[in-house]
Structure 1
Amino acid sequence: MSQYYLFQDSRKCIGCHACEIQCKANKDLPEGPKPCQIIQVGPKFINNLPKMSFIFMPCFHCEDPWCVSACPTGAMQQRSSDGIVFVQQDLCVGCKTCISACPWGAPQWNPSTGKVVKCDYCMDRLDQGLEPACVTTCTTGCLKFGKVEDMTQIRRQRHAQAVASLENSSF
């Protein structure tokens, strides 16, 4: 499993797609492939009001990624140092086996190169001490990136604050 985690606070996301656009710009991708995607849920009516939410879907960098084991050329790889799953472009022959193997749809077809592209947490940026492009452009700050243990702590704090505010509002 990756040492890193990309956390989305869905309560803050407004579905602006800035993360998708910045990802595509950073990777110089044409129309079509989206290594990270915003999925719209709704609208649903809650208390007679229409509500929508947005779910951020990057690659999950699985502990035992099916895309890596399915790749016949070894182009789909997992870094041993941190668990990031990435495509070694010069080895990719465009067979799309990894696309079929991934239950999350993380590997995407790039029609301009005839090869696969996917979220790799912008590992070129990480190696320079920078955050992934999607995180740096998030207009509401709903995307957070870091070590798994740090992101787990952020999630716990967020949950505790939500519970505390519910308890305080019932007085």
Structure 2
Amino acid sequence: MATNRRDFLRSIGTVTMGAAASVAGASSPARSATDTAGAAAAKGPHHGMVVDLRKCIGCQACTVACIMENDVPEGAFRTHVSVYEIVREGKDPAMAMLPRLCNHCDEPACVPVCPVGATFKQEGTGEVLVDASRCVGCGYCVQACPYDARFINEETQVADKCTFCFHRTSAGLLPACVETCVGGARNFGDLNDPDSVVSKLLAENAVAVLRPEMKTHPNVFYIGLDQALSGRVTGEAAYHPPFTQLEEENA
């Protein structure tokens, strides 16, 4: 964690502050570090997250930290950890964790459908953000997101989602979920910096993304993602019932 924080602080000096906006807000085909670098901007930092599922214990510390940090209304989540029991024929049941959040895609499906331009990509660092002063709460972006990572905030009546804690990272801090992760499963940093923790994890491990067939080029990567979970992104909050996956379905 200390190394992660140190690397991120080193890169924050090059972050370009964008226009002041009110922000609301297994194996699947692997994406190599080379692919990641190509998708990111050629210069400057490009923020992303690598989730090491080998270290996630489903403690929900990240979920609670996000709720407290971002004042998320009851019953809604900017990030959470879905917990599954995977049952395969001839094998003992196994618990699997799937931390979920906005994937801050390089080609986000939510941006082009916004009729008022409230959803946008942050210039320079790549976060997908929502300008709450422009959002009309139509919900088009909520429906367009293939990762079910958005919701209409019942208190503000605008689109809400994970922002990678943009208010924190702009000040040189890590996202609240990363800072709080007790197992060090969540790692955040500059994908364009080969010496950052996230770049090293991508270079040294096979990684996967959720729903790669959507071709949104997510900037959230998973180490150790079970094939049975690569498409499990439909609206589950934490601690939902187990789901059964037969081995022949993965053949």
TM-score band, normalised by shorter chain = 0.7 to 0.9
Determine if the alignment matches structure 1 residue 75 to structure 2 residue 118: yes
Match of 1:10? 53
Distance in 2, Cα, partners of 1:155 & 1:79: 23
Match of 1:113? 156
Q: CA RMSD in A?
A: 1.9
State the Cα distance separating 1:47 from its structure 2 match: 7.6
State the Cα distance separating 1:57 from its structure 2 match: 1.4
Aligned mate of 1:147, from 190, 214, 221: 190
**Amino acid of the structure 2 residue aligned with 1:26:** E
Distance in 1, Cα, partners of 2:99 & 2:69: 17
Match of 1:162? none
Evaluate the alpha carbon distance shift between residue 58 and residue 52 of structure 1 in structure 2; reply closer, same or farther with a 3 A threshold: same
Contact 1:110 1:116 in 2 (8 A): yes
Contact 1:8 1:144 in 2 (8 A): yes
Q: Cα deviations across residues 147-166 of structure 1 (Å, max 9, x unaligned)?
A: 1243132244356xxxxxxx
**Amino acid of the structure 2 residue aligned with 1:66:** A
Q: Which runs of 5+ in 1 are unaligned?
A: 160-171
In the TM superposition, structure 1's runs of 4+ consecutive aligned residues that sit over 2 Å from their partners are 43-50, 155-159
**Amino acid of the structure 1 residue aligned with 2:199:** T
Distance in 2, Cα, partners of 1:29 & 1:79: 22
Evaluate the alpha carbon distance shift between residue 157 and residue 86 of structure 1 in structure 2; reply closer, same or farther with a 3 A threshold: same
State the Cα distance separating 1:146 from its structure 2 match: 0.8
Higher relative contact order (CA 8 A, sep 6+): 2
Contact 1:13 1:53 in 2 (8 A): no
Select the structure that is richer in strand.
Answer: 1
Select the structure that is richer in helix.
Answer: 1
Aligned mate of 1:41, from 57, 72, 84: 84
> Structure 2 length normalisation: TM-score?
0.59
Contact 2:129 2:163 in 1 (8 A): yes
State the Cα distance separating 1:46 from its structure 2 match: 8.9
Q: Which runs of 5+ in 2 are unaligned?
A: 1-38, 41-45, 207-251
